[in-house]
A and B are shown apart, each in its own frame.
Chain A
Amino acid sequence: MQEGKISKRRRMYEALMKAAMWISVACTCALVAFLILYVLVKGLPHISWSFLSGKPSYLSGNIGILPDILNTVYIVLAALLVVLPLGVGAAIYLTEYAGNKQVVGVIEYAAETLSGIPSIIYGLVGMLFFCQFLNMKTSLLAGALTLVIMNLPTVMRTTQESLKTVPWSYREGAFGLGAGKWRMIRTVVLPGCVDGVITGCILSVGRILGESAALLFTAGFAHALHGIVNGLSSSGATLTVALYVYAKEQGEFEVAFAIAAILMVLTLVINLSAVWVGRVFEKRRRI
């Protein structure tokens, strides 16, 4: 008798918990699906070839986002070009060379903290330091450098983590054959941490694409069409900033949704490629 009661109560409890979990899963999925569908439905119809390849003109009333696309590409390239060598170099130094483990610990902790700071603070600092102190004015370059500071911890930490997965025995093997430290690092350690570097890159690109606050202060909102050199030295809006400008300043919600749809697709592509890179390297490691 007693036993039957307990198991009945337990079964009810299990069922209840299961239902609760199902509801949370359903809510999450529904929210995500709604968001994606809403943006796509409102945005996709406004995307056309002339929209993607044109530039905005007040005279003709035409709106095109080519300058914003290019600005995004420039800023991503410029930021990666600086952040990769810095981040990977710092990671190598910290894991392979630095002798004082306590200092390394402090730096790692600082980096972790740094990556949690709200991006608008980076924007403020970037504006004061790059735009004013270094006299770069409001420019894509100033924006890119601000993004470098923002993403440096991420690149450094992901690289470091994957450096740590390279077994000590490989290093020992290389040293045992008479390899110097740098040769050991270049031939045995770095190939083993490519996945970390790529992951760091992808995460950074994602973050750069999504960034608005830090760029509003530093890179500006212009929509002029430039080549990469002129582009970097002048003010320009990335896609995300353009979205903000079109929606907030000009009330062009259709344009904003179109850009949002593009950004959403890009984000999806980036996340998928991160997963794909992870898988490829996982496989390669297992051979």
Chain B
Amino acid sequence: MSDIVTVENMCLWYGEHQALKNITIKIPQKSITAFIGPSGCGKSTFLKSLNRMNDLIQGVKITGDVKYNGKNIYDPSVDVNELRREIGMVFQKPNPFPMSIYDNIAYGPRTHGIRNKAKLDEIVEQSLKDAAIWEEVKDRLKKNALGLSGGQQQRICIARALAVKPKVLLMDEPTSALDPISTSKIEELTVKLKEEYTIIIVTHNMQQAVRISDQTAFFLLGELVEYGNTETLFSTPKDQRTEDYITGRFG
């Protein structure tokens, strides 16, 4: 299996504060990679640096290599908007736009120049089906997306991200604001999506990491402590700190 995202010796600073230290990681395509670690260890920061969402924050400095399909994404020649189309993102708190469900899903394709109504209809339907929410909303596509439940909103956001046909989907604790039923729906969905997409998911829930991910990366204080096959990492961790964390012995 080939690696779609490779990071080498990457460091990141918020002003004076170093949030990531010498991260080196290779992420294989069409698999699920989970990032775990205590709060504040830099999981979200690392995730956002993979599609340059950190560009929006002032005073961020990055060194090292972050490559997507072999190309350094921080190279000046890279079109950030195109990069974010290929590496989509789902946020911790569902954030559908205050417009109709249809317009939410069509937002990305329209942004990238698709105007044809029939084509948009098709994309919207397919994306909603892929996000396992078509049946629930097909009769009210023109209704405002903010009228949906939290779990539904999050699946709308997933559908919205899928609508631009990304290759990689970054998910930052996508289920932390949701109830157990919505959570398991999204977990099932994620597993199904890995047939076509590369998924990188931040989670605080270790059972979730075990249930769905192929690889797991454990972060601590801005360092990548251990990275490997999920089963191996959870059954026979190599690093003492990993063991402490996954057995709950951690401060």
Contact = CB atoms under 8 A, between A and B. Distances in A.
Interface of A: 99, 167, 169-180, 183, 187-188, 191-192, 285, 287
A172 B51 CA distance: 12
Contacts of A99: 58
A174 B160 CA distance: 10
A178 B108 contact: yes
B111 A177 contact: yes
Given A169-B91, A169-B93, A173-B91, 6 more contacts: A174-B107, A176-B84, A177-B84, A177-B161, A178-B108, A179-B108
A192 B93 CA distance: 19
B58 to A, nearest CB: 7
| SS of A interface (majority) | helix
Q: Which of A176, A180, A183, A285 counts the most B-chain CB atoms under 10 A from its CB?
A: A176
B125 to A, nearest CB: 18
Contacts of B22: none
Contacts of A187: 97, 107
Contacts of A188: 97
B95 A173 contact: yes
A179 B111 contact: yes
Interface string B37-77: 00000000000000101001010000000000000000000
B53 A176 contact: yes
B124 interface: no
Nearest to A176: B89
Contacts of B97: 170, 173-174, 187-188
11 contacts: A99-B58, A170-B95, A170-B98, A172-B95, A173-B91, A173-B95, A176-B53, A177-B161, A178-B81, A178-B164, A179-B108
B157 interface: yes
A178 B112 contact: yes
A257 to B, nearest CB: 48
A176 B147 CA distance: 22
A178 B91 contact: no
B155 interface: no
B146 A287 contact: yes
B82 interface: yes
Contacts of B161: 176-177
A89 B53 CA distance: 26
Contacts of B146: 287
Nearest to B163: A177
B131 to A, nearest CB: 14
B95 A175 contact: no
A119 to B, nearest CB: 38
Which are the 4 A-B pairs with shortest beta-carbon distances?
A: A178-B85, A169-B95, A176-B89, A177-B108
A179 B111 CA distance: 6
Contacts of B99: 191
Interface in B114-149: 144, 146-147
Given A285-B98, A287-B144, A175 B91 contact: no
Contacts of A192: 98
Contacts of B108: 177-179
B52 to A, nearest CB: 9
A172 B58 contact: no
Contacts of A285: 98
Nearest to B111: A179
A285 B147 CA distance: 11
B88 interface: yes
A270 B91 CA distance: 42
Contact of B147 (A171, A173, A180, A287): A287
B86 to A, nearest CB: 8
B56 A172 contact: yes
